[in-house]
Structure 1
Amino acid sequence: MIEHRDKIRYALYGIVCIAFVVSYAITNIAIFLLFALFFIDKKNKIKSKLEFIKNNRLIWLYLCFFCAQLIGLLYSENLNEGYRRVTVLLPISFLPAIIMAEKINAAYFKKLQSFLQIAIPMIFIFLILIHLLYDKRAMSTFVHFTANEKLGVSQFYLVFILLIPFKVSYINLKNNTSKIINGSLLALSLALILVMGNKTTIVLLFIIALGLLVRHIKNIKKAILFIVSMCVLGFTSYNLPIVNERFGILLKTTDFDVKTVITKNNFTITKNTLEHRFLINYLSFGEIIEALPFGVGTGDVQDILDEKYKAINFKAAILGQFNNHNQYFSEFFKTGFLGGILFIILLFGINRKAVLSNGFALPFTALFTISCFMESYLYRQHGVIIFAFLIPLFLNHRIDVTKEY
């Protein structure tokens, strides 16, 4: 088995990425098989891997961050919720270490990229066809009905898995590899990302396109290409019902006066998610400051938030039992300065490593860092997999880019 362990390891990486969309149970099984496989190796290699873990600061930051959650559990009043939070975060304690300590096999990683570049879009197309033809529902309800209700996965998480074929196709185009095939897969991946209707991702894509335009402004051909790309992206986004609806609600109904927002959400279940986040942050900020320097405990945040929602009759939050929707606030809320500062340092560390590499991991780390202002990613298991599996996997592997685009 040892002689085939690299092949098995990369196969398990692929299973985690695919199962991420369709089955968290399979994802869990693959993760713990990776843990077992770590120790199925020659003694000298196991010793070398453990030595690497011992001396790697980023791995220690992950471990310290998990330990902060355990410390917060010690003074939690709601121990059942605290245990549940710690259980969800458990992969953070070992997954980054066993991924980053393994020796890179460039050949198998290249095969993994090629597989995911095709398999991930095909899974989404299959799900869309079932949604349209079998469930007989409109495309505009795909995210809400198929992704959220049937699969139990938010579009916030699915965007990250779609970034894999998007990034692989983009890099292949930079290397002038099979332009028609990779161009088609790039366009398909982008279309699927837009179908998710994630406002943060769409805005980030525009910023990236604008940055590339500025970078290549002196090259007429490339400048025109990026201008056309931005126009196509804008036109496509505008004509997708889910994107049009979400940005329409955002632009037409957003208020930033606290009393107005409270009144609106007191009388009805509103759909403006930006206002929801604004109000949640407003309600939690005072509690966070009051609970410093230690926080309220790993298991008590939701109870306090639910009390604040009921106090102002925040209908949508009461019905949906909204979490903090801000990972930075969440960490300071739970474990005070210890967890909050560790989380920020950890994000700085992974982004620094992403920048110093050849950039394959950068879209994942950048999107995660920005989106944590809008979403509590580590509240759910899918977010933990992004943080503890996807990001370390792509931080640990590089793709050779032979030509600048």
Structure 2
Amino acid sequence: MKIEKDRELNVFMDKAANLVAFFCGLFVLLPFKLKPYTVFAFVLLALFSKIKFKNRLKCDWKSILIYNFFTICCALSLFYSNDLHRGFTILGRYVPLLLIPIAFSFLSSDTKEKFNQIFIKTFILASCLYSVLIFIYLFKLGYFSNEHDLSYCYSYITFEFYGINEHPIYISVYFSIALLLLLIKGFENRIINVILFLLLISGLFILSRKGPIISFFIVSFLLLILKKERLQLYKLIVVFIGVFSVSLFIPEIKNRFLEVLDTNKVLNNSETSTGIRKILWKNSWELIQKSDYLGYGIGDVQEVLRKQLAENGFIILSKENYNAHNEYLQMGLAIGFLGFLLFLSSFFFFLFSFIKKRNSSGIVVFLFFSLVFLFESFLERQNGIIIYSFITCMFIFSSDFAKNLRDET
């Protein structure tokens, strides 16, 4: 009787893990309000697993604590934040940073493996579908018939795109993650992998977000070098040069890349993406120095940066509620130099553990996010927090990846 009951529980657990993994893998296609429910579903799966296996599963509290140095520092910063309401609202966004690693620790090795496999394949396919939908949407908006330019279409992709409501920079990060997962652990059929890769890379370039594009190609080259896959590396270089060359025939994309080389579009220019970032970085650094490197607390960062921009003459930018557009500077503004160092220590703790294990995939995933952080305050939005937590914890807490990647050596 007990054996039959255990068998039924195992079957139920397998089905539940597959269903939750599929739902979480659809993250990129879910509307903004539904995305947090992926965390809720995953936590429920983990709690059921913990109850089922009782004391047989040990939670890795050390890794969870180190992973949440940033969350702890943000919570402590509330003591010197003036706007506590906004501070608690922002702190609420960071809950997935705590819940997702705990949930991963509650899962059995078999459940983690099943979850990872389904999640990865679903996420890749969902991202490919998103890319296809973008081109269909561009066609409907009249881009290919020259009725509207890309800048006009980007605003519709952000606010009107089938109710998903996602900023192109975050979509680009999703596509980059899907591309990395495809290189790390793609489908068995090579032709399918090639088709999916081209769909994703086309979507990545049509959105023309420089930060994710540069970050992806740096770490993808590194991944193939570490794996000693020279043929794949050469193919990637050819594809990159080919797609990049074709994209340069599109004026908007060409101008977005060439603006980096034009000092008039970078220095004190509030009309280009590169120029805006330069202004925000400079003002953020000035504020960090004024705070004696202690930060202003997560509740006050937005208002402090807004006032600084206004005082320096950037009135329009001050009204747009911009963040620092650099996660490291954002941390410096919110939790100060000490908090920033604690975040880096936790980040490098996991990075060095991957290096020690010769886990090339874990290395490039962490390096990818470290590069994205240079161009975007990625953890300021809950969408960024959730996907960052899922992807990084998948490598930190999953024995499936540890086992497979040890086989590389």
| TM-score where L is the length of structure 2 | 0.82
| Of 31, 42, 61, the match for 2:39 | 31
Conserved in 1, the CA contact under 8 Å of 2:206 and 2:253? yes
> In 2, are the aligned partners of 1:249 and 1:271 still within 8 Å (CA)?
no
The equivalent of 2:103 in structure 1 is: 98
Identity %: 19
Q: Which residue pairs with 2:93 in the alignment?
A: 88
Gaps of 5+ in 1: none
Q: 1:236 maps to what in 2?
A: 246
1:10, 1:109 within 8 Å by CA — same for their partners in 2?
no
Distance of 2:95 and 2:114 partners within structure 1: 31
* Other-structure match for 2:301: 301
How far apart are residue 63 of structure 1 and its match? 2.8
Does the residue aligned with 1:383 lie in a helix, a strand or coil?
Answer: helix
CA contact (8 A) 1:212 1:226 kept: no
Measured against aligned partners, the alpha-carbon deviations of 1:269-290 in whole angstroms (never above 9, x if no partner) come to x332222222222222232123
Provide the rounded CA distance (Å) in 1 between the counterparts of 2:172 and 2:363.
15
Do residues 79 (structure 1) and 111 (structure 2) align? Answer: no
Q: Distance in 1 between matches of 2:234 and 2:173?
A: 28
> Structure 2: which amino acid aligns with 1:188?
L
How far is 1:126 from its partner?
A: 2.4
Instruction: Name the counterpart of 2:30.
Output: 22
Gapped regions of structure 2 (runs ≥ 5): 1-7
Inter-CA distance 363–238: structure 2 relative to 1 (3 Å threshold): farther
Q: Distance in 2 between matches of 1:42 and 1:172?
A: 28
Q: Counterpart in 1 of 2:256? A: 246
Q: Which residue does 1:147 correspond to in 2? A: 157
Provide the residue aligned with 1:191 in structure 2.
202
Q: Closer, same or farther in 2 for the Cα pair 1:46/1:194, shift >3 Å? A: farther
The DSSP-based 3-state class of the residue aligned with 2:36 is helix
Residues 216 and 223, structure 1, Cα contact 8 Å, conserved in 2? no
Conserved? CA contact 2:359–2:406, under 8 Å: no
Question: Displacement, 1:101?
Answer: 4.0
Amino acid at match of 1:359: S
Q: Deviations over 1:134-164 (max 9, x none)?
A: x445572486224322243222222232234
CA distance in 2, matches of 1:392, 1:247: 33
Cα 1:331/1:6, change in 2 over 3 Å: farther
- Distance in 2 between residues matched to 1:143 and 1:12, nearest whole Å: 33
Q: Residues 166-181 of structure 1: matches in 2 within 5 Å?
A: 166-171=179-184, 177-181=188-192
Equivalent in the alignment of 1:11: 19
Q: Specify whether residues 213 and 390 from structure 1 end up closer, same or farther in structure 2 by C-alpha distance, changes over 3 A only.
A: closer
Counterpart residue type for residue 181 of structure 1: I
How far does residue 304 in structure 1 lie from its aligned partner after superposition? 0.9
Is residue 395 of structure 2 the alignment partner of residue 387 of structure 1?
A: no
Q: Answer whether contact 2:25 2:122 (CA < 8 A) is retained.
A: no
Residue equivalent to 2:323 = 323
| Cα distance in structure 1, aligned partners of 2:332 and 2:229 | 45
The two structures, once aligned, show a CA RMSD in angstroms of: 3.3
Q: Does structure 2 conserve the Cα–Cα contact (< 8 Å) formed by 1:237 and 1:243?
A: yes
Q: Which moved more, 1:320-329 or 1:358-367?
A: 358-367
C-alpha separation in 1, matches of 2:107 and 2:153:
36
Distance in 2 (CA, whole Å) between partners of 1:202 and 1:73 is: 35
- The alpha carbon displacement at 1:305 in A equals 0.7
Q: 1:110 maps to which residue?
A: 117
Q: Distance in 2 between matches of 1:131 and 1:224?
A: 31
Distance 1:368 1:337, change over 3 A: same
2:328/2:373 contact within 8 Å kept? yes
The CA distance in 2 between the partners of 1:171 and 1:102, in whole Å, is 23
Deviates more, 1:280-289 or 1:71-80: 280-289
Q: Is the 8 A contact 1:250 1:272 kept in 2?
A: no
Letter in 1 for 2:287: E
- CA displacement at 1:128 relative to structure 2: 3.2
- Measure, in 2, the Cα distance between the counterparts of 1:283 and 1:244: 28
Q: Distance in 1 between matches of 2:72 and 2:375?
A: 25
Is 228-237 or 356-365 further displaced after alignment? 356-365
1:279 is matched with 279
Give the Cα separation in 1 of the matches to 2:232 and 2:255.
32
Between the aligned partners of 1:214 and 1:297, the Cα distance in structure 2 is: 41
Cα deviation, residue 178, structure 1: 2.1
Equivalent AA in structure 1 for residue 23 of structure 2? I
Matched, 1:132 2:139: yes
Deviation at 1:71, TM superposition (A): 0.8
**1:207-253 CA distance string (max 9 Å, x none):** 4576689889997x677645533431331332344421311333235
Question: Contact 1:378 / 1:384 at 8 angstroms: preserved in 2?
Answer: yes
Task: Give the CA deviation at 1:325.
Answer: 1.2
8 Å CA contact 1:16, 1:30 repeated in 2: yes
Deviation at 1:90, TM superposition (A): 1.7
Cα distance in 2, alignment partners of residues 237 and 136 from structure 1: 18
Displacement of 1:48: 4.2
1:121 aligned partner: 128
Q: What do the CA deviations read for 1:278-329 (whole angstroms, capped 9, x no partner)? A: 2222222232123235321121111111111111221442232111111111
Pair 1:334-2:334 in alignment: yes
Q: Distance in 2 between matches of 1:117 and 1:20?
A: 9
Answer with 284-293 or 62-71: which moved more: 284-293
Answer yes or no: is the 8 Å Cα contact 1:117–1:166 preserved in 2. yes
Question: How far is the alpha carbon of 1:371 from its aligned partner?
Answer: 1.7
What TM-score comes out, normalization by structure 1 length?
Answer: 0.82
